[in-house]
């Protein structure tokens, strides 16, 4: 049986030796999130942080599209992902060819692409967004209609909030699409007075049952502000595990779903990655300028 303490000690030592920084998404398990990560956050926070780092090596404790985004913003640095198979059903749900077909069918309509996408798809896009800035970005375009890909539910949720017409694509997050409104109503009956917070990757009928909807970082901010007694986070399981450490006075009801991709990243895997410097992420040269532009436009907006 492995001892977490051995791996934690080794990772902390290797970080110094390799001049490395660990960026961890909010869905990473607590021993990664609380014990070895240097920067923690939602997709937006990780992308922003990736712009400002002094270390020469970035270890991305998260899924592949996050590592690719970090590499786009830091072409001269080594960006390591501990498991190259840590994918995402949204990123895998659309191709660059699909985006070109959508643009041909809707000429002149801007393409807003969720960061949960490949660099090839980003390269076909006007601007990226995350769940934390989607509403503000879409509104800032000042147009009545946008192509918002690949997450159909995020697009429909933003459409409901803004009234801006969305051309959508039928890709979903395999974690959030599984929640149902019946399940939320049942939890409300069992846990009277519970505050329900749903991620905008959930189906619109699930978001309609929630008290608040926001990115994983916005969930954290909302709890910090409202300090509810009891919370139901309609999202990936590690979110409640990590926040329950930060908010000991709040109790967390857990009808969560696991993301099998996020869970491919382990403490032992991070250690191995720093020992072997595997696996560096690369973005094909010809995609870099256009994909980087879509991400940088988002960060500048
Ligand atoms: P955020 O952390 O940006 O809310 O994204 C959630 C998610 O599913 C990332 O894969
Ligand atoms: Fe992709 Fe959903 Fe997993 Fe996030 S939680 S990486 S959106 S499959």
Checking if the pLDDT of 1 tops 70, the result is no
**Measured distance CA(47)–CA(115) in Å, rounded:** 9
Q: For 162-178, what is each residue's pLDDT tens digit?
A: 999 999 999 999 999 99
- Give the CATH architecture of domain 91-172: 3-Layer(aba) Sandwich (3.40)
In terms of C-beta density within 10 A (0-12 exposed, 13-18 middle, 19 or more buried), how is residue 92 classed?
middle
Q: For 221-263, what is each residue's pLDDT tens digit?
A: 999 999 999 999 999 999 999 999 999 999 999 888 999 999 9
**Measured distance CA(295)–CA(114) in Å, rounded:** 10
Question: Would you list the domain boundaries of the chain?
Answer: 4-87+262-282, 91-172, 176-253
- Give the CATH architecture of domain 176-253: 3-Layer(aba) Sandwich (3.40)
Q: Find the angle CA(280)-CA(120)-CA(83) to the nearest 5 degrees.
A: 30
Region 44-72: mean pLDDT is 96
Region 277-298: mean pLDDT is 98
Judged by DSSP in three states, 90 sits in coil
Checking if the pLDDT of 2 tops 80, the result is no
Q: Whose CA is nearest to atom 7 of ligand 1?
A: 43
Q: Label residue 297 by pLDDT band (50, 70, 90).
A: very high
DSSP secondary structure string for all residues of 142-202: --SEEEEESBHHHHHHHHHHH--EEE---B--TTGGG--HHHHHHHHHHSTTPEEEE-TTS
- 174 Cβ inside 6 Å of ligand 2: yes
Which atom of ligand 2 is closest in space to residue 173's alpha carbon? Answer: 2
Query: Which numbered ligand comes closest to the C-alpha of 92?
Result: 2
Instruction: State in words which class domain 4-87+262-282 has.
Output: alpha beta
- 63 Cβ inside 6 Å of ligand 2: yes
Task: Please list, in sequence order, all residues whose beta carbon lies within 8 angstroms of the beta carbon of residue 297, skipping any fewer than 6 positions away.
Answer: 126, 127, 128
DSSP secondary structure string for all residues of 9-73: HHHHHHHHHHTEEEEEETTS-HHHHTTT-SEEE-HHHHHHHHTS--SSEEEEES-HHHHHHHHHH
pLDDT of residue 210: 98
Mutating to test ligand 1, I would choose from 131, 173, 198, 233 the residue with most ligand atoms within 8 A of its C-beta, which is 131
- Please state, rounded to an integer, the average pLDDT across all residues of the chain: 97
Region 70-99: mean pLDDT is 97
ipTM surpasses 0.85: yes
Residue whose token pair is 């290797």:
14
121, 72 Cβ separation under 8 angstroms: no
Region 200-207: mean pLDDT is 98
Same fold, 91-172 and 176-253: yes
Region 269-280: mean pLDDT is 98
Q: Whose CA is nearest to atom 10 of ligand 1?
A: 116
Checking if the pLDDT of 3 tops 90, the result is no
Q: For 123-141, what is each residue's pLDDT tens digit?
A: 999 999 999 999 999 999 9
- 131 Cβ inside 6 Å of ligand 1: yes
pLDDT of residue 175: 98
Q: For 101-125, what is each residue's pLDDT tens digit?
A: 999 999 999 999 999 999 999 999 9
Cα(75) to ligand 2 centroid in Å equals 25
Judged by DSSP in three states, 222 sits in helix
- 259 Cβ inside 6 Å of ligand 2: yes
301, 133 Cβ separation under 8 angstroms: yes
In terms of C-beta density within 10 A (0-12 exposed, 13-18 middle, 19 or more buried), how is residue 63 classed?
buried
Checking if the pLDDT of 179 tops 70, the result is yes
């Amino acid at each position: 049986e492995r001892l977490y303490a051995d791996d934690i000690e080794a990772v902390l030592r290797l970080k110094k030796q390799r001049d490395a920084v660990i960026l961890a998404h909010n869905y990473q398990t607590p021993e990664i999130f609380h014990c070895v990560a240097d920067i923690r956050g939602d997709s937006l926070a990780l992308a922003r942080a990736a712009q400002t780092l002094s270390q020469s090596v970035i270890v991305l404790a998260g899924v592949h599209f996050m590592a690719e985004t970090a590499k786009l913003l830091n072409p001269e640095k080594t960006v390591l992902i501990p498991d190259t198979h840590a994918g995402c059903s949204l990123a895998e749900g659309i191709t660059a060819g699909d985006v070109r077909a959508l643009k041909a069918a809707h000429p002149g309509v801007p393409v807003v692409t969720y960061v949960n996408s490949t660099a090839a798809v980003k390269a076909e896009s006007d601007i990226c967004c995350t769940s934390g800035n989607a509403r503000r970005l879409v509104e800032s375009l000042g147009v009545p209609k946008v192509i918002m890909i690949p997450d159909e539910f995020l697009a429909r949720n933003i459409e409901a909030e803004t009234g801006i017409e969305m051309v959508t694509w039928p890709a979903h997050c395999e974690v959030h699409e599984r929640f149902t409104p019946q399940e939320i109503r049942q939890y409300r009956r069992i846990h009277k007075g519970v505050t329900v917070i749903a991620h905008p990757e959930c189906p619109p009928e699930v978001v309609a049952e929630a008290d608040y909807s926001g990115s994983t970082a916005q969930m954290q901010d909302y709890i910090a502000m409202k300090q509810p007694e009891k919370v139901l986070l309609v999202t990936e399981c590690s979110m409640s595990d990590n926040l329950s450490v930060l908010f000991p006075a709040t109790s967390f009801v857990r009808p969560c779903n696991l993301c099998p991709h996020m869970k491919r990243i382990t403490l032992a895997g991070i250690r191995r990655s720093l020992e072997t410097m595997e696996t560096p992420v690369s973005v094909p040269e010809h995609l870099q300028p256009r994909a980087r532009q879509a991400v940088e436009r988002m960060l500048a907006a």
